[in-house]
Structure 1
């Protein structure tokens, strides 16, 4: 989950989208989207461990610039389409 901080700058949006596109191309991104209230968004990465997922998320420009605060959860899928 990605929540904007007071340091959020709109210029980080395009690098963030490019980062997500790169994850998608590598087969590491399952879903992504923004919250409609403008406070942030969320994405689901596919990784072999929580540590690997954390490393991926910490490379996101919204994190590295301090524009957003990340909360990372390990998620176990119970039912899938």
Structure 2
């Protein structure tokens, strides 16, 4: 498994109503053993999380099911992350 950094930047379509479904989704991903950590940006523009997946395509497929993505509330960008320290 590799680590993937997901940047979630809010779009103009953001609504607070998506927050709870997003948190539920994160809980499900964590329970499946595919979530390392999460956090929000203190300026309110979005957040980031680190998922575990076999490859970049698998990571993108998983992230595509996040409610903040499926509703258009956030733009998600996935990076393979080599942690060196």
TM-score (norm 2): 0.90
Structure having the higher strand fraction is 2
Supply the RMSD in Å over aligned alpha carbons.
Answer: 0.6
Higher relative contact order (CA 8 A, sep 6+): 2
State the secondary structure of the residue aligned to 1:27.
coil
Task: Show structure 1 runs of 4+ deviating over 3 A.
Answer: none
State how far apart, in whole Å, the 2-side matches of 1:55 and 1:33 are.
Answer: 21
Q: Deviations over 1:13-72 (max 9, x none)?
A: 000000000011011000001000000000000000000000111100000000000111
5+ residue gaps, structure 1: none
State the partner residue of 2:32.
26
Matches within 5 A, 1:1-81: 1-79=7-85
Q: TM-score, normalised by structure 1?
A: 0.94
Number of residue pairs aligned between Structure 1 and Structure 2: 79
